[in-house]
Amino acid sequence: MDSLKSLFSRKPPGVGVELTPERVNVARMRKQGQKIKLETLASAEIPEGIFEEGQIIDTAAMAEAIRSALAESKLKVKRATTAIPGRAITRVIPVPAELDDQ
């Protein structure tokens, strides 16, 4: 939560970055009174072959997609915040193939 609060501090503003298999979205918001307003939103398509089964497999290409979104937005950025959706965090639990009914 502190990183989210830092986006609205008096320091130079940061951005929020969302990575999906289809797009990278970069947003800058600002606090206006009690409300939060979207100041800038930029988006860039993710080329095929960067994501595989929800995993980033080509980090250099992903970095370039993020740079492209930032260039499109014309934002000067020193800080960024990102979030990971709960469905992206998985744990494999091995279970024996043959279980007793007990």
Domains of the chain: 2-84 (3.30.420.40)
| Structure tokens belonging to residue 92 | 């494999």
pLDDT at 5: 59
pTM above 0.75, yes or no: no
| Structure tokens belonging to residue 71 | 């260039």
pLDDT at 86: 67
pLDDT at 96: 73
Helix (H, G, I), strand (E, B) or coil at 43: strand
Q: Going residue by residue through the chain (102 aa), what tens digit of pLDDT does each one get?
A: 555 555 555 565 678 888 888 888 888 888 888 888 888 888 888 888 888 887 888 999 988 888 888 888 787 777 777 766 666 666 677 777 776 665
